[in-house]
Structure 1
């Protein structure tokens, strides 16, 4: 769940874990601390920083990159970030745990970069019956696995589910310790390194199921709307800069992701970056996969059914489209 880094997980009101990234310092006055981790839809923030686009919008932003995505979720939930790049799934988990958060921007939808990858001899999801499948419990790739199994007429009870952190799951698959794995880019590249492996289901098969968003502390949104607006404006300015300077932008993002420029380009189709118009459609109420409220209700059912949360998280006030609407 995008979202995504060397570790991925659903966070409620868990205590902040110290793991590789310094999140202990509170933001200095007037500074927005923005967390992100290894997912193609979030690397544009690195471009924004390196090209001075936050400053052009008169907002001071301290980017905090997390090797552990889970730590970024915990940091926002415990007030150690102003905002964080995270999946809708994980925001709902945090809200269920009591964290007050507001989603102000949809960065992207996963359209292929989340994958269920199977080993030699398994060519379909139906072929997973009786097999050992690894994924990080409660994450978007666990969610994708359940969606794929349901489509194939199976349930999680038809496989031996092995909960592992995403990097460990990919490593276990490559080592032949499990028959299939649910992972996100760039760990898809790792998993597909196993001879004879193939992606038997991807997020492309389930349009709109995995939205990646920017979630703020709700109180900050109320107290500092101008700064929130400047961050949202910077996002769209950054997308325009990337479109005009793709080669340089790819180099910046690939370097941050620890992959080659060529490998980074292979992720393009699997992450659909949202335009302003797609954002507005997502924020609007609706009864299909294009709309955040529809997806939030489906994801909430998943979280409750898998006992990751005790009760459906409240959705009132979770989505705030006014900042996207104000972008020229």
Structure 2
């Protein structure tokens, strides 16, 4: 089963590298032609995990709003979606949490969230913490001093665990191992290179299906809040100012996708499996916020977490600085 998992990871990685090499750096066209109808092109990163963007695209929800999505390639190590927006390569950010938006704004990149994404759910956890089946690690209380793989420094990768240890009154001395490519974290665990991995959908499901691992906790176990898993989608302030109707259409398409995913999980798995070239039955899914607006309480929760683990000092930026509900579906 480990061999099967490694083969799947290698296949995915090869596909994403090819996409990255052929797609990055394309210039923006104002519109794409679909028969006699002109569609407005929105550029964003190529998706590498379970997401609502590919589903909204596949089901025609963007097209209904006069939008065409152009995928510009996967993120390279050390590069953020916000940097690509600042460089004029992409238009939308679609993979971040509220702390990422706040940090981008603190760095001088004027971006604003306009729509919610997934939220945490006890039955569909945002992050699962996995160890090898024969590991002596039994709970999250045993992770200090261990090697933990993450995809990158963010509120939901290392941040949740730092927050957990802080609440327990423990000093963080985890040995963080950053592995940015999809599937690398889980593969490093099965190979014994790390002790614990932080795993997101769909790779959490893929790793469990391949065997040899077990779960010691989830993000819900730590935070007990839907809002602590909230992701957000948005644009630069200039894009929002220049194209308000496009932004409204974008939020409408995402809302429809969220409702569809929660009520059609098997069909949604099949769509994402096709995009990622995986088997639907191996995938785990996110649970999506069906509110049309971004919940202020969820943003405040993220700020509490972020400030407690030192991502920024209280007062450096306000929760209301990073999002707007002015373009939410009516």
TM-score where L is the length of structure 2: 0.75
Q: 1:248 to 1:210 in 2, by over 3 A?
A: closer
- Name the CA distance, whole Å, in 2 between partners of 1:118 and 1:242: 29
1:87-116 CA-partner distances (Å, limit 9, x unpaired): 223223322322110100001113313122
Q: 1:237 to 1:204 in 2, by over 3 A?
A: same
Preserved contact between residue 79 and residue 217 of structure 1 (Cα < 8 Å): no
Q: 1:185 to 1:61 in 2, by over 3 A?
A: same
Q: Look up the match of 2:111.
A: 101
**Structure 1 unmatched runs, 5+:** 7-17
How far did 1:175 drift? Answer: 0.8
Q: 1:300 to 1:63 in 2, by over 3 A?
A: farther
Preserved contact between residue 49 and residue 203 of structure 2 (Cα < 8 Å): no
Q: Look up the match of 1:134.
A: 149
Which range is displaced more, 62-71 or 146-155? 62-71
Q: Look up the match of 1:125.
A: 140
Aligned match of 1:90 in 100, 104, 109? 100
How far did 1:323 drift? Answer: 1.6
Aligned match of 2:325 in 305, 321, 327? 321
- Name the CA distance, whole Å, in 1 between partners of 2:261 and 2:311: 39
**Structure 2 unmatched runs, 5+:** 1-11, 14-18, 31-39
The secondary structure found in structure 2 opposite 1:227 is helix
- Name the CA distance, whole Å, in 2 between partners of 1:19 and 1:121: 39
Q: 2:159 aligned with 1:113, yes or no?
A: no
Q: Look up the match of 2:55.
A: 47
Q: 1:212 to 1:160 in 2, by over 3 A?
A: same
How far did 1:200 drift? Answer: 1.7
Alignment of 1:152-163 (within 5 A): 152-157=168-173, 159-163=174-178
Aligned length: 291
Which range is displaced more, 167-176 or 18-27? 18-27
How far did 1:243 drift? Answer: 6.6
Preserved contact between residue 92 and residue 313 of structure 1 (Cα < 8 Å): yes
1:185-219 CA-partner distances (Å, limit 9, x unpaired): 23324554786532222112222223211121111
Preserved contact between residue 86 and residue 212 of structure 1 (Cα < 8 Å): yes
Alignment of 1:174-193 (within 5 A): 174-189=190-205, 191-192=207-208
Q: Look up the match of 1:11.
A: none
Q: 2:219 aligned with 1:215, yes or no?
A: no
Aligned match of 1:78 in 87, 92, 97? 87
Q: Look up the match of 2:26.
A: 25
Q: 1:312 to 1:175 in 2, by over 3 A?
A: farther
Q: 1:188 to 1:69 in 2, by over 3 A?
A: farther
1:128-178 CA-partner distances (Å, limit 9, x unpaired): 233222324412211122123334443322x33334336433322111122
Preserved contact between residue 48 and residue 276 of structure 2 (Cα < 8 Å): yes
Q: Look up the match of 2:16.
A: none
Preserved contact between residue 102 and residue 322 of structure 2 (Cα < 8 Å): no
How far did 1:300 drift? Answer: 4.7
The secondary structure found in structure 2 opposite 1:216 is strand
- Name the CA distance, whole Å, in 2 between partners of 1:321 and 1:151: 32
How far did 1:273 drift? Answer: 0.6
Preserved contact between residue 86 and residue 215 of structure 1 (Cα < 8 Å): no
- Cα-Cα RMSD: 3.1
Q: 1:94 to 1:260 in 2, by over 3 A?
A: same
How far did 1:86 drift? Answer: 1.8
Q: Look up the match of 2:8.
A: none
Q: Look up the match of 2:220.
A: 204
1:223-247 CA-partner distances (Å, limit 9, x unpaired): 2111100111122233455577665
